[in-house]
Structure 1
Amino acid sequence: MAHLKADPQYLFDFFTGLYKMVFLMEVDTQGYKYTDVTSEAVRLASLPEDWKGRYIHEIYEEKVAAPLISQYDEAASSGEPVFYSDQMNKFSNISEYAASALMPITDEHGRVGYIIGLTNDLSDSTSSKLLASIENIDYLTGLPSLLQVKAELLPKMEHSAFSILYLNIDRFKLINEWLGIEATNELLKKIAKQTAALLPPESILGRIDGDEFIVTVADHSEDQTIHLAEKILSSLSQFTYEVNGVSIPVTGCIGICMSPGHPNSMITNACAAMVEAKREGRNSIRLFKTENQHQTMIDEAIMEAELYKALDQDELTVYYQPKLNVRTNRVHYEALVRWFSPVLGTVPPLKFIPVAENTTLIQDVTRAVVYKVCEDIKHTPELFKDAVTSINLSAALFEPDLIDAHFIQVVRESGITPSNIEVEITENMLMKDPIKGVEIINHLKELGFRVVIDDFGVSYSSLNYLRSFSLDGIKIDRSFISQIDQHHNEKDISIVHFIIQLAKKLDLYVTAEGVETKEQFDILTSLGCDEIQGYYFSRPLPLEKIKSTIHHFFDYILLKDQFYQEAAVTQERTGEERRLKEIERLHILDTPVEERFDRITRTIKGAFHVPICFISIIDDKRQWFKSCIGLPEPVQTTREVLREFTLCDYVIREQKALIIENIAEHPDEEIRKFFTLSGLQFYAGIPLISKGQMIGTLCITDYLPRTFTEHQFETILDYSKWVESEIELYSMRV
């Protein structure tokens, strides 16, 4: 846009004939000075009588002046017009707003010397048009709003057949947290621009909400529309965000409606199809089918009627799926409702639970399930005595009165101790009303129940946000687990690793559900997961079949223990030989430098503000560095030193961490020699453990003495677990 160049007073007089509120502001090093102002502007801006020659910051309080000055700053620095709306500063104001434009006036050298401010009170009829335009445009992306899309689409539908595509960005809350609001906004602008470039003529692209966009295309066949949706999803993957240093592509889901109708109904149907697509997983596309929708409504009505009968005739039963605590080898259970209808056959919970939640039937279903679980616990003490049994709480019951009446009261009447029951709730239940969530969780905890988040990661809330709730644990959703055993699937493993690490920081117990293979089991246990649930051990089973399954659990546990006992008896190796054998198994010695380990040392060096950090493997003769920062150049090049000349040798021999805050003043003369040899005064070395063997060290050192607190010690221990996980993953070639 061309810069405004003219006599400032002339421009002020010119705009006075067009606008009631005009401000002429001189720009100098002190700020923005009122030079001339219309009488209406003086009144509505609540300017004092002596306004002339005074600055904005002199007239208004900080809370009023700061946002106003920021708008002027933008106009002065960019040299471009700035448009904004804000609450007016008049004393009688009751949430009245004004729309303003700031027009920079440049001199012959291109310097902004004055700014003309033009303001309209949005209560007048002229400005109401401006307000309407604000409602119709998404000012972040410049795209039309949902209201505007509908308005533009309606007349066009008289001449052409239109398809609606409803796009939702996956894991948007997670992206927003990792990137931050500003970077996420930039990402949304780029997504909007790139998507627009893919669309054919006469299309409309609009933004509905934070992570949702709408596309309309004319005269497209079903195949053409699906192909366009595939192109849009493919283009999204060009944008990435980082988790733990791993680049992850942006993904989305699209719902499509091609059935003719009013824009409102078509958009609603496309949204319903999008929700179905999200249930199928990332990068899914779902087409809305009218006939299917009508049949679904009929099926749900029949199911509701049969569910009434099922509750009356006691057709619902409870199956149990065992969960193995890999730390203690104790078995716990999840209670899962099952319905075997004489009319409908076996009805999956995913079918009848949503029907029940749309009515008060969910209250009766919950009471029936809780009652059956309590009865089973009472009458089968050999299975449930030392176990915790989890029960899912429906979002439809997430009210204090409903929980008391249909959950807590049933447990109380049964005489079962609440500590034997774990309540599973979803992220969405907490995020919809966090204050109520805190109240309900605290109430359950006070009564003695455990409370965990089920399907964690589906709604992509923040683990740090969960710090607000007194939770006991989380269950990582099966969608994160299903692909971690696939070859080279480092991204999903990194996400799971990240979740487990943060959960441990918040002292949350971690369960992985949907574990189906030994490879998944091995990876999860190496990452520090506490509890495993899935078909790898057992599918959900009726009570009478659980006993034989538990024998399978204990057979596994006994075989594992027997293996280690036999290994200790039959293998006549010294402790050092077993340690060296484990290093050999890892195949890590003399391997190239890798970013996955360098990333850790950089992170730790920055966290402790030390000049030197390294990860080392120690064999029988040498200390070999897998990653090192700050060591002398010869060592950086050879990546090894003789073991006998290192403090890390003490860590291996003594089998424990070694912290020396001032090496020069250490009572052991042998240790003081290291100060003479290297000049180092501070040392913190943490053992790295693999399969019970001490294979190396994680160390930070400094040339100055340091005080090392208990908190710092716990922090570096946490980092050592990260290193150990990476080493195990490396050995599995993941």
Structure 2
Amino acid sequence: MRAPEEERELGEQGLRLQALCRQTILYAQNETSLLQQISKIFVQTGRYRSASAYRLEEGRWQPLAAYTGAVAVPFQGPPAGIETELNRAILEGEVQSADWQDRSGFIVPLTSLERRDSVYLIESDTPIDTESYEFAVQCQFFRELGEEIGYGITILRERLLHLDLFRQNQLFAKALEQSPVACVITSAEGVIEYVNDRFTLLTGYPAVEARGETLRILKSGMEEETVYQELWKTIGQGKNYRGELINRKKGGELFTARINISSLRDTRGLITHYVMTMEDMTLEKYYEQQIDRFRYYDSLTGLPNRFLFFDRLEHAIQKAGNDRAKLYVVFVDIDNFTEISRVTGYETGDELLRRVAERIQWVLSPVHTLARFGNDEFMILIEKEENAGEISSLVSRILHSVKGSYGFGGSAVNVTASAGISVYPDNGSDSRELLQAAEMAQLRARSSAQDGGGEFAFFSEEMQNDARESMRFGTYLRRSVESIALGGTEFELHYQPVVELKTGRIVSAEALLRWNHRRLGSVSPEKFIAEAERNDLIYPLGGFALSGAVEQLARWQRNFEFAPGIAVNVSVKQFQDPAFGGQLRALLAGTGVSPSLLEFEITERVLMSDTDRTLSVLQLLRDMGIRLLLDDLGSGYSSLQYLLKFRFDVLKIDRSFVSSIGSDVGTQSREVSRSIIDLAHSLNCDVIAEGIETAEQLRYLIDQGCDYGQGFFLARPLPVDQFNKLLAAGRIELP
């Protein structure tokens, strides 16, 4: 439990930082000095080790400001190894933690900028514990501060732009009449005696018409009479009057003017005249309205943003509480938007967001609040519907309106969305609880959808329990992965033999990762590998599996006359890692393993991740002499397409077809398996059938000319000592 003093200190530190940053934004003269001063505040007041600002320009991160210790430092690019976190911060608009060398820090996107292309890298004095309360608080603080800084930069740019325009107008007015503002001189009774050209330009009254009149010609009827009474009372006492008045021009148009009236006295001290300067504030008021709109509305879609949504939700909760009524919060998220945006380009992604927003608006009525909440996230506040059936019908129409094909130039994108619904007061008593519940329901809806999206769900307590369990599981996994570097033994590799079907000779092995947790026991690889990929633990975990397999291969080379090959599964994220090739070369060089004995199993998911990157890495592996296996062939069409683009050494028949041989649907599976065998041989590839579990399956595959096989009928995945005994025998007896 965190001590109250620590929580208070953390909160006070955040408030000091926020206050100083706001003050700096308020008085900033240019963007460079603003960013440099905020960097200094982070270090001197926030007690962080360093702070640097960067902007993504043409694919490269350019330094904008930097400060460390008590001195400014030369501008340079961000530390190596955190490009993924930098790009994710820009793409998702969320604070990221990053580790490089022996340091760690926060990457804070400046999300309120018109173009989300800038971040702050805040280096921490101590390692960051992403599971800690302090980390969550700091992320929330940095998220809000990043929005404020981005907002401040935008306003500064607007201010500097408008300042330049204003100065140009002043110079123009001075050139005409040596005065940038409208000037009026009246008698003590208020009769106009003089106006300059600026006055004529502002009001439409020429000097010849204005002279002899009073300032009542400007009265608009929009101000209370007490305003004018206070004005005359002030100047009648010889005091200066400053204020804003809504006036009317000769043509009838209204304008807001900043008024400054001072008195002129004679030698006896009696007021003889009044001098009034009048500045048109219409443009200034317009920009103030635009700034307010930028503050509370999304610049891309024109919808209310998260700030305005929170404000309306808080008011709605208060009203619903007083009326003992229900209200509904709907969280809508575009399925696979990150992948769509990455493949089609960010400009296309932005256009897609605009179109989705329009489609949702078509379904909703004016009494509903639709807001863009995040990158591809929309929130809907519903106060009028009275029962869950009406809400279900409305949300179904929303998802149906979003679903469909969106054309962009010569291409089209198929889009679906998922939604989660929370109910006040059933699922929460405040905005935070309702938003969390709606988001949790949306995630459940997406995960339960058969095609990965297009569904909605109401929040339930079961989801809350599942979320706690998922968090607990993720914590266990993270700690176990972190223990690898300290010599932890919870993870180990098992090896399943791959045998020549005609002879039973062991030719290779597939390395399979196993996790035996001290509390959870043996955990399914499908479960913990999926969790590792979601939380970026797949990099150290995949590295452990790859290095362990290569080191075992080196031991087999030393201890056996015939060393079998080893097949290793590679995740999508490992495959996309720019450092993957260099790390692999170093590993092979350090162990002395022949690359021809190493095999990589490539799944359809890897092939679909990034076409250009995939082909590049496949060619790199082939150039190194590593054998390539196309895994799960037949389970999708994309892998078949890749056979036309790239040559694989081995094709693996998916276990779903092998397991069906001999069943009621076996005829079709037999034909598919036979076709894959024929296809492989026509391409000069070997064939491995995985998942062989019966003698009938084995006999059929042998009869069809399948080269190799693996499965429980032949041998289960084994610890290395048991596998070594099989390897010493050299073969497996086949029936």
- TM bucket by the smaller chain? 0.3 to 0.5
Q: Which structure would you say has the larger Rg?
A: 2
The two structures have a TM-score, normalised by structure 2, of 0.40
Report 1 or 2 for greater relative contact order, CA contacts < 8 Å, sequence distance ≥ 6: 1
The two structures have a TM-score, normalised by structure 1, of 0.40
